[in-house]
Amino acid sequence: MRIEIATLFPEMCEAVLSTSIIGRARAKGAIEVNCHQIRDYTTDRHRRVDDTPFGGGMGMVMQAQPIYDCWKAVCAPYAEPPHTIYLSPKGKTMTQEKVRELARKPALFLLCGHYEGVDQRVLDRIVDEEISIGDYVLTGGELPALVLTDAVARMCENVLPSVECYEEESHYNGLLEYPQYTRPENWEGEAVPAVLLSGHHQKIREWRQAQSQALTQELRPDLWAKWLKCTNEDADL
C-alpha cells in the first residue's frame, strides 16, 4: 500500500506518521506514506495557494492550480493514478467497511483541504470520492487524512502481528468488541469474570460473543439491527 498525502502542513502529518505502529510499519517497509507540500507547486511568486471566494463570503478558498500540479507530479510515476480522496465534511461518513475496501487498493492519494475548502473545478477533475470522518467540521483535512491512513494501514499485511488483531475488534464483523481485562485478577475488590481464567477456550469464545451482542444491542441499536438483518439473511441462504 502506498498513500500519498497532499497538504499545506506535511510536518503535522509526519509527526503522527513517524510514531508508534504506523511509524514502525513505514520503517520496515510494510507501507509507504509520503507527504507532499501543496505550496511547493504554486506558480504564484508570493507562494500563495488560496484566494477569496467568487460571489463573496467569509474566508479563503484553496486554488485549483497548485493542487492539480501537485496531483499530476505525484501521479506521474504511477501507471494508473492512485484512488483519489478529498477529505471533506460533505463526503460519505467513513466506516470499517469502507476502510476494508480502501485497504485493498494499491495506492491512495489523500487531499487535505483548508480554510473554506477547495475550488470545485479541481475536485471535479481529480477526485474519485469524498470521505468525511463525522458530522462535524474541523479546521483542516490533515486529522481526517491521518485517521483514514491509520485505519487503512492497520489492515495491511505486516503492519499488525496477525489478522486476528483486527478481525476481533469492534466493527469488523458488525458488532462492538467484548470487554477486555488484564492483570491483576483482582483490582480494588473487582474480580475479572471467572470464565476468562477458566482456560476453557470454547466457553471463553461463547462468553465474548454474548458480551459483544449485548453491548452492541445496548450501545448501538443501529448496528444491532443491521447485524441481526445480515445474520438472518445469511441463515436464509
At position 117, the amino acid (one-letter code) is G
Q: In this chain, which stretch among 15-23, 85-93, 194-202, 225-233 interacts with ligand SAM, using CB under 6 A? A: 85-93
- What does the alpha-carbon distance between residue 165 and residue 172 come to, in Å, rounded to a whole number? 11
Where do we find the cell 488483531? 165
Q: Which is nearer to ligand SAM, 86 or 178 (CB)?
A: 86
Where in 130-159 is the site for ligand SAM (CB under 6 A)?
132-134, 136-141, 144
Residue 194's CB: how many other CB atoms inside 10 A?
9
- What does the alpha-carbon distance between residue 109 and residue 112 come to, in Å, rounded to a whole number? 10
Where in 161-220 is the site for ligand SAM (CB under 6 A)?
none
For position 6 contacting ligand SAM by CB under 6 A, the verdict is no
- What does the alpha-carbon distance between residue 145 and residue 1 come to, in Å, rounded to a whole number? 15
- E strand or H helix at 130: strand 129-132
Question: What minimum distance in Å lies between the beta carbon of 89 and ligand SAM?
Answer: 4
Q: How many residues bind ligand SAM (CB under 6 A)?
A: 20
Question: What minimum distance in Å lies between the beta carbon of 32 and ligand SAM?
Answer: 23
Q: Are 112 and 89 in contact (CB under 8 A)?
A: no
Q: In this chain, which stretch among 14-22, 64-72, 98-106, 109-117 interacts with ligand SAM, using CB under 6 A? A: 109-117
- What does the alpha-carbon distance between residue 228 and residue 174 come to, in Å, rounded to a whole number? 9
Shortest-Cβ-distance residue relative to ligand SAM: 113
For position 66 contacting ligand SAM by CB under 6 A, the verdict is no
Where do we find the cell 439473511? 233
Question: What minimum distance in Å lies between the beta carbon of 138 and ligand SAM?
Answer: 4
For position 89 contacting ligand SAM by CB under 6 A, the verdict is yes
- What does the alpha-carbon distance between residue 145 and residue 3 come to, in Å, rounded to a whole number? 10
Residue ranges binding ligand SAM (CB under 6 A): 87-90, 112-114, 116-118, 132-134, 136-141, 144
